[in-house]
């Protein structure tokens, strides 16, 4: 299922001692997985990993299922769901999903990263809003793309209110159960991280030695929440989405209607990059058309999962490494996809 060529390309990129790439491939109805190091190919890990920003794609699917059921509307202002947040009069669900709401992000804030590394108590939702001066929109909604974790934090609040369920239960009902996934959870505290697999974190270690993620990190520092699951289940989720198991065709088409964005090279993958509704897109007509999915990155692991609908059989590839270079798994996904016609 995963060719020797694909394995060797991945192995060549694993230059660090102890670096592992966990790979899952779904091609049509077939599935294969393997764990690869610089010196070996092993039975695939049964471990579970934090998906970091791939969680946004899962949240987007959940939101669109609520749209499908009539609970939410893509184009209406979100003020009725967020009456305590005045700028919600100006942006819609579509704006949040596509990062065009004008809301800020915290990724560039030094004091955020300092607090995470120190092991401080995570900010509350209100503190995230205050620390980012979120009531001051950075652009008119719909006018510009600006990646915003704060936007997806507010989306989580909308999802809870619109569904009447807690976040984890909603994702199970709207996404995991319909996709046949039974090992996905939403860790909320540091104690929950003992169930997940990480590499040592240079990010958390700062200027010192790499540290144990489960001992130092609190997932509540991810403002919108985070899903954790296996590499196979991450691939199965995206494959189910594009095989029509989760959304009706019109909404799936809306989700994949991308807005052109600027991004760095990302391992040679991002030709004509775009962003849909919770969905990254990279177009490469010479190699079988678009890749649609998402990547993530955080302490102790880096995931990427993309679907390639124009292959001879619909193809989904997920790679999760135990390092902190978020470009690397994207490049590996591309390398594996290139071995399929």
pLDDT digits (tens, 9 = 90+) for 156-187: 999 999 999 999 999 999 999 999 999 999 99
Ranking 12-16, 94-98, 205-209, 213-217 by mean pLDDT, the lowest is: 12-16
Domains belonging to the chain, first-starting first, are 4-48+181-280+289-337 (3.40.710.10), 55-176 (3.40.710.10)
Of all residues in the chain, what percent carry a pLDDT higher than 70?
94
Q: How does DSSP assign 234-247, residue by residue?
A: HHHHHHHHHTTSSS
Vertex 246, ends 337 and 66: CA angle to 5°? 135
Q: What is the mean pLDDT of the chain?
A: 93
pLDDT one-digit tens code per residue, 278-320? 999 986 655 556 899 999 999 999 999 999 998 999 999 999 9
- Measured in degrees and rounded to the nearest 5, phi and psi for residue 137 equal -65, 140
Q: Which residue has the higher pLDDT, 262 or 183?
A: 183
Pair of tokens at residue 219? 């997932």
Burial of 145 (0-12, 13-18, 19+ CB in 10 A): middle
pLDDT one-digit tens code per residue, 22-49? 999 999 999 999 999 888 777 766 799 9
pLDDT for the residue numbered 24: 96
pLDDT for the residue numbered 9: 84
Residue 228, classed as helix, strand or coil, is strand
Report the C-alpha gap between 21 and 10 in whole angstroms.
Answer: 8
pLDDT for the residue numbered 218: 98
**Average pLDDT score over residue span 12-17:** 75
Report the C-alpha gap between 120 and 105 in whole angstroms.
Answer: 19
Q: How does DSSP assign 273-289, residue by residue?
A: -EE-SS-EEEEEGGGTE
pLDDT one-digit tens code per residue, 47-86? 999 999 999 999 999 999 999 999 999 999 999 999 999 9
CA distances from 289 to 103, 171, 227, 282 (A): 32, 30, 29, 9
Ranking 4-8, 82-86, 113-117 by mean pLDDT, the lowest is: 4-8
pLDDT for the residue numbered 333: 93
pLDDT for the residue numbered 11: 87
Look at residue 329 and tell me whether its pLDDT is greater than 60: yes
Report the C-alpha gap between 117 and 246 in whole angstroms.
Answer: 38
Look at residue 107 and tell me whether its pLDDT is greater than 60: yes
Report the C-alpha gap between 189 and 217 in whole angstroms.
Answer: 9
pLDDT for the residue numbered 284: 60
Chain centroid, CA 288 distance in Å:
23
**Average pLDDT score over residue span 227-253:** 97
Report the C-alpha gap between 154 and 161 in whole angstroms.
Answer: 11
pLDDT for the residue numbered 1: 75
C-alpha dihedral, 45 to 330 to 219 to 214, nearest 10°: 40
**Average pLDDT score over residue span 208-234:** 97
Question: What stretch of H or E contains 158?
Answer: helix 149-163
pTM of the entire predicted model: 0.96
pLDDT for the residue numbered 175: 98
């Amino acid at each position: 299922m995963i060719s020797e060529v694909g394995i060797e390309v991945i192995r060549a990129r694993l230059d660090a001692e102890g670096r592992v790439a966990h790979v899952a491939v779904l091609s049509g109805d077939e599935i294969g997985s393997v764990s690869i190091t610089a010196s070996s190919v092993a039975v695939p890990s049964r471990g579970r990993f934090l998906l970091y920003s791939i969680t946004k794609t899962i949240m987007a699917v959940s939101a669109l299922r609520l749209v499908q059921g009539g609970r939410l509307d893509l184009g209406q202002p979100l003020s009725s769901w967020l009456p305590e947040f005045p700028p919600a009069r100006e942006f819609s669900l579509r704006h949040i999903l596509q990062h065009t709401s004008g809301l800020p992000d915290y990724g560039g804030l030094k004091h955020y990263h300092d607090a995470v590394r120190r092991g401080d108590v995570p900010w509350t939702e209100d503190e995230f809003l205050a620390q980012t001066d979120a009531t001051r929109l950075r652009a008119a909604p719909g006018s510009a793309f600006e990646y915003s974790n704060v936007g997806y934090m507010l989306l989580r609040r909308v999802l809870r209110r619109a569904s009447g369920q807690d976040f984890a239960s909603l994702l199970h009902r709207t996404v995991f159960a319909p996709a046949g996934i039974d090992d996905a959870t939403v860790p909320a505290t540091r104690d929950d991280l003992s169930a997940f697999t990480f590499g040592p974190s240079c990010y958390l270690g700062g200027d010192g030695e790499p540290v144990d993620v489960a001992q130092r990190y609190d997932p509540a520092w991810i403002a919108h929440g985070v899903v954790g699951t296996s590499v196979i289940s991450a691939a199965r989720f995206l494959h189910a989405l594009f095989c029509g198991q989760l959304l009706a065709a019109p909404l799936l088409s809306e989700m994949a209607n991308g807005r052109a964005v600027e991004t760095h090279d990302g391992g040679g993958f991002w030709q004509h990059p775009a962003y849909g509704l919770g969905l990254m897109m990279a177009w490469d007509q010479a190699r079988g058309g678009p890749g649609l999915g998402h990547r993530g990155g955080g302490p102790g692991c880096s995931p990427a999962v993309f679907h390639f609908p124009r292959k001879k059989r619909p193809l989904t590839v997920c790679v999760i490494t135990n390092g902190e270079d978020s470009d690397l798994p994207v490049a590996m996904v591309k390398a594996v996809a290139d071995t399929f016609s």
